[in-house]
Structure formats: C-alpha cells, structure tokens
Structure 1
C-alpha cells in the first residue's frame, strides 16, 4: 500500500504543477509578455496543461473508493457531511485570502480574469458549493473543482449505501454503467460541466481502478469499462478522457515495489499532501505578482519568465506552509468539535 500511495503522490504532485503553470499561462501580464518570445510554449501550457485536472479526478475517485472499500456505509449523510467539512473550512479561508489579494490589486489590474468585488450572497454560495449552479462568478480559478469533487463523492457514497452487498457486484456494475453513460453521453454535453455526471467518466474510472484488485469479477468490470471507453473515444475523441483512461490503467497495472521510505518519497508525500492547498491558493499569488509586474513597468520576456518561476516556487512554498499551519489544524479542530455530534447521528 505504501508503494501504491507513492504512485498516487507522484500523480498528484505532477498534476498540481501542470495546473498551476496552466493558470500562469492564462492569467496576468507576465503571460502576455512571455508569449512574445515563447508563443508555442505558452499555447501548449494554456491548451494542454489544464488536462492534468483529469488526473486529479481519477485519483480522487481512486482514493474515495479505497476509503469505502472495507467498511459499509451506515449513514450516508454523516459521510457526506464529513467530506463537506473536510473540504470547505480551508476552502473558505483560501477564498478570503484571494479576495483580499484581489482587493489590493484591483487598481493596477484591469482585466476580465480578475474577479469582481464579492458580495455576501456570492461568498455564501461558494461556501455551500453552489456558486456555479446559481450562476455566480467564481472568486478563484479552483472554486469549481471543489464543488465537483464534493458532488462526485456524495454520488459515490449514495451508490455505496444503496447497492453495497457482501460481494459488491451490484455496486461495481452500477459505477461502471454510470461511468460508461458519462463517457458516451453526458461528458459530450458541455452545459453539464457544473454537475458530477459530466465528470463521472474520469472519477468512475478511478473508483473502478481501486476496486479492480479486490476480486476477479471487479477486475473484469474495470477492463470491460475501459474497453467501452475506448469505443466512445473512437466515436468522438477527447484528449482529456484519454489521459483519464491512461491514468486509471496505470493505477491498475502498476506492480507493487519494495516498501520503504526514502528522503525523495517523503518530499513527494509532503508535496502531495499540500496539493489541495496549492490548488486553492495559487491564484492569489498570480494576482499579487501581476500587480507587482504592473507597478514595476517591466517589459522583458526573460524577466517575466524569471518572475513567473519565482512566483511558482512561492506558490509551492505557501502550499506547504498553509497545509501544515492552517489546513491540518483546521481539520483537527473541526473533527474534534463535530465528533460527538456525528456519533449521535450514527446511532
């Protein structure tokens, strides 16, 4: 399990860095300046680096499936509420920090990508993970993913609660059918990208990958689902789903190695743990460095690349720092305060 965890850690770390660089290529005056010299690189980062989100979706499904693999769901509302409280406290804190960064930089950044001044109702909609559904402008580049992750997890929990048995064959088939339906139909409708069903194609592959080695039956379910995904890609090719399929297949066929921790693995593990914080906070760093660039009147593309690289390192460092000093303490505090309440609900 430790070796498999390292594989997941590597996927999370690499995907997180690609997403950060995609946003550096999409937002800010430094991106515009770098495009003058490296147009093909910036175009690649803008068009393809964002596909790393598919890796997060597959890994998210994989880890969620592992968490429910060996224990039945007694109370789905408790499981869903715990997930909400796992995601939202730091998410709200990050949105507050980003809103502050935006407020500080508003006078120097005049661009469409900068969020408008948030209203109380808009912030509340974000806190309830309903901002896209109600049509509110996103306060951060990563806000949509948190809402989708919560929807996907809630859907998986409800499936597990409804269909779980001793063999779990019905559950695996249901997840596979929903995954195939998403691939063949729902994932092809762009208007559905605010709902879990649109992304269940990738998330479901991650779930099935985690369950594939639980039994021979579930292994067959995974490979049959993968074959149907290939068929859907032959009908309408989508690069994002190809990456999701490759990620899921790798998680299934990756052989176990020697179980031992090295300094490199410990570093990767820490970066992996902080990936959620990095995902939520890096937009604020982009805003502040864009403000700095505008005030400094820099024009040199090499300076833009150097400053962007430094900003990226600041994003990673801040992710590590806030994970240890803010996210983990928040999670422990919330867990302690709600422990007795959830125990009463579970009875």
Structure 2
C-alpha cells in the first residue's frame, strides 16, 4: 500500500505543477511578454498542461473508491457532508484571500481574466459549490474542479448506498456502465462540463482501478471498461480520455510493496499533501505578481521568465505553508466539532 501511495503522490505532484504552469501561461502580462519570445512553448503549456486535470480526476476516483471499498454505506448524507466539510472550509478561505488580492490589484490590471468584484450571492454560490450550475462568474481559476469533485464523490456514494451487496458485483458493474456511458456519449457534449457525468469517464476509471485487485471479477470489469475506452477513442479521439486511461492502467499494474522512504520521497509526499492548497491559492499569486509586473514597467522576456519562476516558487511555498498552518488545523477543528453531529445521524 505504501508503494501505491507513493505512486499516487507522484501523480498528484506532477499534475498540480502542470496545472499551475498552465495558468501561468494563460493569465497575466508576464505570460504575454513570454509569448513574444517563446510562442510555441507557451502554446504548449496552455494547450496541453491543462490535461493534467484528468490525472486528478482518476486519482480522485481511485482514492475515493479505496475509502469506501468493502465498507457498507448506511448514511450517505453523512459521507457526503463530511466530504463537503473536507473541501469547503479552506476553499472559502482561499477565495477570500484571492478576492482580497484581486481588489488590491484592480487598479493596475485591466484584463478580462481578472474576476469582477463579487456580490454576496455570488460568493455564497461559490461556498455552496454551485457557482457554475447557477451561472455565476468564477472568482478564481480551478474552482470549477472543486465543485465537480464534490459532485463525483456524491454520485459514487449514492451508487454505493443503492447497489451495495455482500459481493459488491452489482456496484462494480454499475460504475463501469456509467463510466462507459460517459466515455461514449456524455463526455463528448461540452455543454455538460459543469456536471459530474461529463467527467465520470476519468473518475470511474480511477474507481475501477482501485477495486481491480480486489477480485478477478473486478479486474475483468476494469479490463472490459478499458477496452470500451479504446473503442470510445476510436469513435472520437480525445487526448484527455487517453491520458485518463493511461493513468488508470498505470495505477492497476503498478506493483505494491514496501518502499524505502528517502528524503526526496518525503518531499514528494509533502508536496502531494499540499496539492489541494496549491491548486486553490496559486491564482492569487499570479494576480499579485501581475500587479508587480505592471507597476515595475518591465518589458524584457528574460526578466518575465525569472519573475514567473520566482512566482511559481512562491506558489509552491505558499501551498506548503498554508497546508500546514491553515488547512490541517481547520480540518482538525471542523472534524472535532462536527463529530457529535454525525454521531446523531448514525443512530
């Protein structure tokens, strides 16, 4: 299990860094300056680095499936509420910090990518993870993913609750059917990209990958689903689905076993733990450094490259710091104070 955990850590760290660099290529005056000197590199970051979201989706499904594997779901509302309380508190804090960063930088940044000043209703919709569904403008990059991740987890919990049996075969087949339906149909309809069903092709592959070594039946279910994914790629090739399939297959074939925890592997583990915080907060760093760039009136691409690299290091450092000093304490506080409430629902 330790070996597989390290594999997941590596996937999360790589995906998180790619997403950060995708946003550095998409937003801010520094990216415009870099584009003048290195257009192909910037285009590549913009077009391809964002595909790393598929890795997050597969890993998210994989971890969620491990947390419910062979465990009967008696109170789905409790599980879903716990997930919301795991995601939302720091998410709201991050949005507050980013809103402040945007307000500070509004006088120097006049680009369309800068969010407008939020209304109370807009902020509430974000806090409830309903901003896309209700048609509100996003207050930060990547907030759509948090909402979709919550939808996907809730869908999995409901499936577990409705279809759990002593051998769990019906549940595995249902996940596979929904995953294939997403691959072949729903994932091809871009208007559905605010709903869980659009992304369940990747998330479902992660779920089935986690269950694959539970039994020969589950391995067969994963194998058939993977073949159906190849068929879906033949029907309409999508690089995002291809990456999701490769990630899921890698999680299945990667051998388990003990791992020697070197200092480098511990660093990777810490970066993996802080990936959620990095994902939520780096946009604020981009905003503040864009403000600095505009005020400095620099125009040199090499200066832009150096400052972007420094901003990236600041983003990673801020992620590590806020994970330890904010996310973990907030999570412990919320878990402690909500424990009695969940016990009441369980009886």
Normalising TM by the smaller chain, what interval? over 0.9
Shift of 1:257: 4.2
What is the rounded CA distance, in whole Å, between the counterparts of 1:122 and 1:337 in structure 2?
27
What is the rounded CA distance, in whole Å, between the counterparts of 1:303 and 1:257 in structure 2?
46
Aligned residue runs from structure 1 range 1-347, under 5 A: 1-347=1-347
2:214 aligns to what SS in structure 1? coil
User: What is the RMSD computed on CA atoms of the aligned residues?
Assistant: 0.6
What is the rounded CA distance, in whole Å, between the counterparts of 1:61 and 1:77 in structure 2?
19
Per-residue CA deviations over 1:147-196 (Å, capped at 9, x if unaligned) read 00000000000000110111100000000000000000000000000000
After TM superposition, the score normalised by the length of structure 1 is 0.99
1:232 aligns to what SS in structure 2? helix
What is the rounded CA distance, in whole Å, between the counterparts of 2:138 and 2:340 in structure 1?
34
Per-residue CA deviations over 1:45-93 (Å, capped at 9, x if unaligned) read 0000000000000000000000001321110000000000000000000
Q: Which runs of 5+ in 1 are unaligned?
A: none
Shift of 1:258: 3.5
What is the rounded CA distance, in whole Å, between the counterparts of 2:345 and 2:166 in structure 1?
24
What is the rounded CA distance, in whole Å, between the counterparts of 1:217 and 1:70 in structure 2?
14
1:212 aligns to what SS in structure 2? helix
1:165 aligns to what SS in structure 2? coil
What is the rounded CA distance, in whole Å, between the counterparts of 1:316 and 1:121 in structure 2?
31
What is the rounded CA distance, in whole Å, between the counterparts of 1:258 and 1:152 in structure 2?
31
What is the rounded CA distance, in whole Å, between the counterparts of 1:238 and 1:26 in structure 2?
22
What is the rounded CA distance, in whole Å, between the counterparts of 2:182 and 2:196 in structure 1?
9
1:256 aligns to what SS in structure 2? coil
2:37 aligns to what SS in structure 1? coil
What is the rounded CA distance, in whole Å, between the counterparts of 2:44 and 2:166 in structure 1?
47
What is the rounded CA distance, in whole Å, between the counterparts of 1:143 and 1:40 in structure 2?
27
1:103 aligns to what SS in structure 2? helix
Answer whether contact 2:2 2:257 (CA < 8 A) is retained.
no
What is the rounded CA distance, in whole Å, between the counterparts of 1:172 and 1:111 in structure 2?
47
What is the rounded CA distance, in whole Å, between the counterparts of 1:71 and 1:262 in structure 2?
33
After TM superposition, the score normalised by the length of structure 2 is 0.99
Shift of 1:197: 0.2
| Poorly superposed stretches of 4+, deviation over 4 Å | none
What is the rounded CA distance, in whole Å, between the counterparts of 1:313 and 1:72 in structure 2?
43
Q: Which runs of 5+ in 2 are unaligned?
A: none
2:136 aligns to what SS in structure 1? coil
What is the rounded CA distance, in whole Å, between the counterparts of 1:203 and 1:142 in structure 2?
17
What is the rounded CA distance, in whole Å, between the counterparts of 2:253 and 2:141 in structure 1?
33
2:213 aligns to what SS in structure 1? coil
What is the rounded CA distance, in whole Å, between the counterparts of 2:70 and 2:319 in structure 1?
31
